Amino acid sequence: MIPQKELWSARTVIHTAMQILFPPRCGGCGARGAWICDGCASDIRDYAQNCFFCETHTLSTRVCEACAKRFAIEAIYWPWKYNNEKTHKIIGDYKYKGLRGAGPTLAKYLRQTVIERLPDDDWQVLPIPIHKSKERERGYNQSYLLARELGLPMIGRALVRSKATPPQARMNSRKERFESMRNAFEVQRPQDIKDKAILLIDDVATTGATLSEAARLLKRVGARRIVAGVLAHG
């Protein structure tokens, strides 16, 4: 088996070569050269230091102590605010228009935000799964493509999406979103989860319903600690 770091290095070389041969356009402003330019990445940067769930002031974890206990996640990190037209366009194109080649570029910003802040531990990455019907339709899981670029060991398909849920964006209330995610996941290989420090990865989180439901189940089967990273929140 090829080591994870070597696979990551090989993908980086291939991605760089493809960008030279076929220069991408920034999803935010249309400038050539990158899927997102430095200017647009700066425009959508989120510097807030509030708790993801209750919005009380926190330090670098972005999850207060009370919410960490309630939602089974000790910290959530994200680089960008989602309530921005550029962010919607950039992530929407990546997620829904087949621009999977944008994955390594987007993951760079996720890596800069998340990896540098992780507490010392033997972290393993677990991307939030999508339902098999949605993955067949889309052709890929956008969170998996982000997760594999982070340079950390990955847990494969230990967690699966057992229920096809409607898009969270179509629901108006926080309560609806949390209720729709109830029992949406199953753990197929609990031995891959037990006693592990797990970094959950997703593309976008608004209420945190998806992340917290996954974390709740992972804690139930023995995960030692859980942190999450997403591209955008808001």
CA separation for the pair 17, 147 (Å, rounded): 21
Q: What tens digit of pLDDT does each residue of 56-89 get?
A: 998 889 999 999 999 999 999 999 999 999 999 9
| Model confidence at 15: pLDDT above 50 | no
Asked if the structure places residue 198 within a domain, the reply is: yes
Asked if the structure places residue 27 within a domain, the reply is: no
Asked if the structure places residue 115 within a domain, the reply is: yes
Asked if the structure places residue 3 within a domain, the reply is: no
Domain limits for position 211: 33-233
Q: How many domains does the chain have?
A: 1
CATH code assigned at 78:
3.40.50
| Model confidence at 8: pLDDT above 50 | no
Helices (H), the chain: 4-21, 38-43, 65-71, 85-96, 103-114, 132-138, 142-147, 174-181, 209-220
Asked if the structure places residue 9 within a domain, the reply is: no
Instruction: Decide if 208 contacts 177 (C-beta within 8 A).
Output: no
Asked if the structure places residue 58 within a domain, the reply is: yes
Pairing of strands 159-161, 185-187: antiparallel
Asked if the structure places residue 153 within a domain, the reply is: yes
Other beta carbons less than 10 A from residue 218's beta carbon: 27
Asked if the structure places residue 26 within a domain, the reply is: no
- Give the per-residue pLDDT at 192: 94
- Plot region of 151 (φ>0 → left; ψ -120 to 50 → alpha; else → beta): left
Q: Which residue has the higher pLDDT, 225 or 163?
A: 225
- Give the per-residue pLDDT at 94: 93
Other beta carbons less than 10 A from residue 39's beta carbon: 12
Side-chain half-sphere exposure of 179, counting CA atoms within 13 A: 6
CA separation for the pair 134, 223 (Å, rounded): 27
CA separation for the pair 111, 108 (Å, rounded): 5
